[in-house]
Chains A and B, each alone.
Chain A
Amino acid sequence: NAGVTQTPKFQVLKTGQSMTLQCAQDMNHNSMYWYRQDPGMGLRLIYYSASEGTTDKGEVPNGYNVSRLNKREFSLRLESAAPSQTSVYFCASRGRGDEQFFGPGTRLTVL
């Protein structure tokens, strides 16, 4: 039982490049989330998926797209990376309760 896994752990991009962050959970949870964490800003919700086949914008969705591929997997795509997207990205999932289970994070630097 791995919980929530994320790949890659680290990534450096140049401005304008694209990439996809991968997330998978093995807890059979319906809801999945993508957050970014910046110093002094806490966790800010980018996108979430309440169930397979649905996605909704969070607080800071601009510059990102998501895909809920199946119940296990929820990916985050940066189509044209900008330095303002330098951050640590966390994926999380939630079952029937309020607890969210977080992955280990992806540290992204955009030059």
Chain B
Amino acid sequence: QKEVEQDPGPLSVPEGAIVSLNCTYSNSAFQYFMWYRQYSRKGPELLMYTYSSGNKEDGRFTAQVDKSSKYISLFIRDSQPSDSATYLCAMSAGYTGGFKTIFGAGTRLFVKA
């Protein structure tokens, strides 16, 4: 079983739709939760970062963490064609000597105009 599971999609939605992207994880040691956005043929870039259960909002984006269910979500409101990209969840845990970060496989999102 992978430590982080993410549905690869693709997910296709019309412009203006609300998008929900999800990841589940198995390691309860993960403390920090991130969402990266990756445009085609580019490197990933950090979109959202949170370290506690609950919601964090930034513009049209909301990150949600439920540590009791080991489940994280990213919601995109009023989706735009420019949101078309691959979204990767990532989780980190500290350990003696450093940090361990595990990435999900990524969900490809297409927003149709």
Binding site for B on A (CB under 8 A): 4, 31, 35, 40-43, 45, 50, 90, 92, 94, 97-105
Cα-based distance from A40 to B98 in the complex (angstroms): 27
Of the candidate stretches B39-47, B61-69, B73-81, the one touching chain A is B39-47
B35 → A minimal CB distance (Å):
11
Contact yes or no, B42 A105, CB < 8 A: yes
Contact of B101 among A4, A98, A104 (CB under 8 A): A98
Contact yes or no, B43 A90, CB < 8 A: yes
Contact yes or no, B105 A100, CB < 8 A: no
Cα-based distance from A5 to B4 in the complex (angstroms): 28
Nearest 3 CB-CB pairings of A with B = A102-B43, A42-B105, A43-B103
A68 → B minimal CB distance (Å):
14
Known A-B contacts A31-B98, A99-B34; the reply to A41 vs B105 at CB < 8 A is yes
Cα-based distance from A50 to B4 in the complex (angstroms): 23
Binding site for A on B (CB under 8 A): 4, 6, 8, 32, 34, 41-46, 49, 88, 92, 97-99, 101, 103-106
Cα-based distance from A35 to B38 in the complex (angstroms): 14
Cβ contacts under 8 Å, A98 to chain B = 32, 34, 49, 92, 99, 101
Contact yes or no, A103 B44, CB < 8 A: no
Cα-based distance from A105 to B113 in the complex (angstroms): 29
**What does DSSP make chain A's interface, helix, strand, loop or mixed?**
strand
A56 → B minimal CB distance (Å):
8
A86 → B minimal CB distance (Å):
16
B20 → A minimal CB distance (Å):
19
Cβ contacts under 8 Å, B42 to chain A = 104-105
Q: Give the nearest-CB partner of B2 in chain A.
A: A42
B91 → A minimal CB distance (Å):
10
Contact yes or no, A42 B6, CB < 8 A: yes
Contact yes or no, B106 A42, CB < 8 A: yes
Known A-B contacts A98-B92, A99-B46; the reply to A42 vs B104 at CB < 8 A is yes
